[in-house]
Structure 1
Amino acid sequence: MIEVGRLTRCEQSEIPSEGFNCVAVEKRTDWLLCHRCGSKSLATSHFLPASGKYYCPACIHYGRLTTTDYLVWQEETIAPRNITYRWEGQLTVGQKKIAEKLITVYQDKRDSLVWAVTGSGKTEMIFPIINHVLSSGGRVAVCSPRIDVCRELFPRIAAVFPDENVLLLHGNSEESYRFSNLTVCTMHQLLHFYHAFDLLVVDEADAFPYEGDEMLHYARKTALKKTGRNLFLTATPSRFLSQSLAADTEILKLPRRYHGRPLPLPQLIWQNHWENCQNYFFKKQLIQLLERLIVDSFVLIFCPSIAYMRQLYQELLKVYGESELIAVHSEDPDRKLKVANARKRAYQIVLTTTILERGVTFERVSVIVIGANHRIYTKSCLVQIAGRVDRKGEHQNGELVFMYNRKSGAIKEALAEIKLMNQLAREGEEGGM
């Protein structure tokens, strides 16, 4: 069955008379080129003797493609139409300027990058351009490298565009593909599309695994129509992202958070024994810190690895009950439920890995980063983690703590960037931004 609006694998005899089609895996002398993921591989290493076919190993977990398969895509023509647009919020002066500029740049057929501090309201700024593209008869995808970000974006976007029957796609999606003018998806899902979207909004464009992944960059490029435009959103643009932008990309900055309060600067706590969860001095200092914070805050503890988090969880269970303490990570089958319960403040303390560094919002939260000098914590990661604090509501007492035993380059760079964004926000406020 051919799925309108995205790539479908089929046999040669099933190719429809209309639409785009190509050989799925092309053999070129002694190597293979996959037209779904763009990967190149050695032909002799990926041969199926029983059928005499060659296959692509890079995207096999999305369904095996061979040299006798075809990729087919059929487009559905969409006419300009009236869109039901329901958002009762109000943009700040800075947000409104960027939202208006995004539409102008799109009309000029150029890409945009919005560099906005965490908590600035990036999602709200993209509502007007989504409305503009849909009204013009266009098709939009809002995508992110992280499933948790997509899950958070989906209900917010669906509420603003209630008649669009918005589709949510990721590896664990509860519904299968259907044609939609407005799709929220992970970057990996773009592999299933070809020249499908007029606007691609890439949220958290600097995040793993999109950062530096050639397959995902190929997917983004091929999923976009030839006349389509990219809109990148980030709070921490990396050197790689900056260098990959088209020369005429419009870069728009917003250093001020929506509520006007600055990004928190971390308290730096030297803890020489953090690597050993069972160390008496480390546990004593951490528990004293937790006892102070939980009086007024829900506490997120970031751990450098799943193994470390599990060990620390067992140590803290000796002090706190299971009703007060939870741990969540990328391999957790109950991850979605735990995050939802954490938002409802079902626990006092949540241990996590970097899966919650971005794209999730908790009220009245304080954050502790264990081993902030660990290599897993890049500058971007630490700045994103800082943005979890004082993100929403009136609460201003949330604290940010970095526990470390060496002041790494990432810690220094994160401190410098937080100070710079806060300074730019003050200057903009004084200048009437």
Structure 2
Amino acid sequence: METLYGRQIVMPKEELVTLDDTYQTRRALIIDSNVTCQRCGSRFSKEVARLPTQDYYCPYCIKFGRITSQSYLVSQEEKERPARFITFNWQGKLTPAQQKVSQNVLLNFQQNKHSLIWAVTGSGKTEMIFNVLLYCLQNGGRVAIASPRIDVCRELYPRINEAFPKEQTLLLYGDSNEAYRYSALTICTTHQLFHFYHAFDLLIIDEIDAFPYAGDKMLTFAQQNALKKSGKYIYLSATPPRHLLNTIKETFGIERLPLRFHKRPLVVPQLIWYEKWQYCYQSNWKMKKLISCLKSLLQDNNVLVFCPSIFYMQKLYAKVCEYFYPSEIGCVSAQDKKREEKVQRMREGGYRILFCTTILERGVTFEQISVIIMGANHKIFSKSALVQIAGRVDRKGEYQHGQVLFFYNQQTQAIRQACDEIKKMNRLAKEWLLA
């Protein structure tokens, strides 16, 4: 049986006799007037999930394997580990603004306080957590960096691996090739936290406001279970929601950074009216505005085209292929089995145009890129999503005249708020530079 330090698995009652007293066991379901699941925190009526055997099961976390009233959650409490030497191989240098945030986050951790790094897209949030990662690992701690988005995890993994080359960093997500093994440094999707119990001294949640994490009570419960009793959180976000800020203001140190590491301002979106953008792929005449904008943008950069649905993306992609070399155009969504290699091909310049859904709104970095949002007024594009998508532009490298175009046919509160927030952050950044 694998060592279960901080890991929890489901076992039937009859197998518990094989365990020694180093293992902790908890009933998977607590039965009183209702049923409470100890893996996902869901509470529901007995009538919802009664089996023919008169036992109960949890229907809410069944995708992680069925648990019943005859099941137990088994884990093993980790022993304290001694301080050790950590090979830290990052060759970069923090800006004074980044250094201040990094030092404050480390001080918060040393003083047993949680942190929120509230920093604009492209500010270097990953680099700003290196100091606290190093400190925690040096002192025998165990760390997880979790994100709601698989693409964010995939992008973080090589960067963390390069900075901490001897840590045998574990990458976990639903379809990842690597099986679970103990590691002091884990990168995973937030859904993987359901498999941990009192495991981490430091749990970093990247993109705390992103779907599907935001507003999901089950994921919040899993996050709380995964942290050791003495453990600390670090939240990372460019767009923390107001309700989160209100909730954590008494218990978190909130470290703000409105300045990108290269000190250039965020690109302010251009709002372009596009009558009936929903049906533009139906005729050459309706495509005229989009094709003209693409040709103009391609003079300086490659282009990401964000679409509100997979169906619309595929229709638009097929139509645009009539105007450009199809080999230079791609489309990608969460359903695409070649998703990872297509993103990498775009990163390497293999595509000039990549159509995508909101899966690429966060955490991914491309050089020499401009962005178009088709239907910025669509309900799927929240204020947060619009800000994040705009933040894909001019994140890295020399200035390449990247642009952000919002095509819309109805003004929305999300569009107004996104533009206002970007301008506000730019004003704050200018004040920081003049200070």
Specify the TM-score bucket, using the shorter chain as the normaliser: over 0.9
Q: Please state how far the C-alpha of 1:395 moved relative to its aligned partner.
A: 2.8
Counterpart check, 1:290 vs 2:294? yes
Counterpart check, 1:258 vs 2:289? no
Q: Please state how far the C-alpha of 1:2 moved relative to its aligned partner.
A: 4.6
Counterpart check, 1:408 vs 2:406? no
Look up the match of 2:375.
Answer: 371
**2:300–2:400 CA contact under 8 A, matched in 1:** no
Look up the match of 1:353.
Answer: 357
1:60-75 map, 5 Å: 60-75=62-77
Q: Please state how far the C-alpha of 1:223 moved relative to its aligned partner.
A: 0.6
SS in 1 for 2:129: helix
Q: Give the whole-Å Cα distance in 1 for the aligned partners of 2:192 and 2:256.
A: 29
SS in 1 for 2:219: helix
- Give the alignment's TM-score, normalised by structure 2: 0.96
Look up the match of 1:23.
Answer: 27
Look up the match of 1:7.
Answer: 8
Look up the match of 2:42.
Answer: 39
Look up the match of 2:339.
Answer: 335
**2:306–2:356 CA contact under 8 A, matched in 1:** yes
Q: Give the partner amino acid of 1:216.
A: L
Deviation per residue, 1:158-217 (Å, 9 max, x gap): 111111100001111111110000000000000111111011111111100111000000
1:312-323 map, 5 Å: 312-323=316-327
**2:301–2:400 CA contact under 8 A, matched in 1:** no
Q: Give the partner amino acid of 1:265.
A: V
Q: Give the whole-Å Cα distance in 1 for the aligned partners of 2:381 and 2:93.
A: 35
Q: Give the partner amino acid of 1:164.
A: E
2:313 counterpart (282, 290, 309): 309
Q: Please state how far the C-alpha of 1:334 moved relative to its aligned partner.
A: 1.0
Q: Give the whole-Å Cα distance in 1 for the aligned partners of 2:407 and 2:197.
A: 46
Q: Please state how far the C-alpha of 1:243 moved relative to its aligned partner.
A: 3.2
Look up the match of 1:233.
Answer: 236
Q: Give the partner amino acid of 2:169.
A: V
Deviation per residue, 1:7-55 (Å, 9 max, x gap): 01123333431132101112223x2111111111222231221x44211
The gaps in structure 2 that reach 5 residues or longer are: none
Deviation per residue, 1:323-349 (Å, 9 max, x gap): 011100111111111111111111110
1:130-169 map, 5 Å: 130-169=133-172
Look up the match of 1:81.
Answer: 84
**1:211–1:240 CA contact under 8 A, matched in 2:** no
Q: Please state how far the C-alpha of 1:416 moved relative to its aligned partner.
A: 0.6
SS in 2 for 1:53: coil
Deviation per residue, 1:290-337 (Å, 9 max, x gap): 111112211000001111101101111221232011100111111111
Choose 266-275 or 72-81, whichever is displaced more: 72-81
Look up the match of 1:106.
Answer: 109
Look up the match of 1:278.
Answer: 282
Q: Give the partner amino acid of 1:292.
A: S
Counterpart check, 1:224 vs 2:213? no
Look up the match of 2:433.
Answer: 429
Look up the match of 2:251.
Answer: 248
**1:363–1:395 CA contact under 8 A, matched in 2:** no
**2:78–2:199 CA contact under 8 A, matched in 1:** no
The gaps in structure 1 that reach 5 residues or longer are: none
Counterpart check, 1:386 vs 2:390? yes
- Give the alignment's TM-score, normalised by structure 1: 0.97
Q: Give the whole-Å Cα distance in 2 for the aligned partners of 1:139 and 1:75.
A: 13
Counterpart check, 1:344 vs 2:343? no
Q: Give the whole-Å Cα distance in 2 for the aligned partners of 1:99 and 1:310.
A: 42
Q: Please state how far the C-alpha of 1:150 moved relative to its aligned partner.
A: 0.4
Coordinate RMSD, CA, aligned:
1.2
Look up the match of 1:203.
Answer: 206
**1:271–1:282 CA contact under 8 A, matched in 2:** no
Choose 19-28 or 63-72, whichever is displaced more: 19-28
Q: Please state how far the C-alpha of 1:224 moved relative to its aligned partner.
A: 0.5
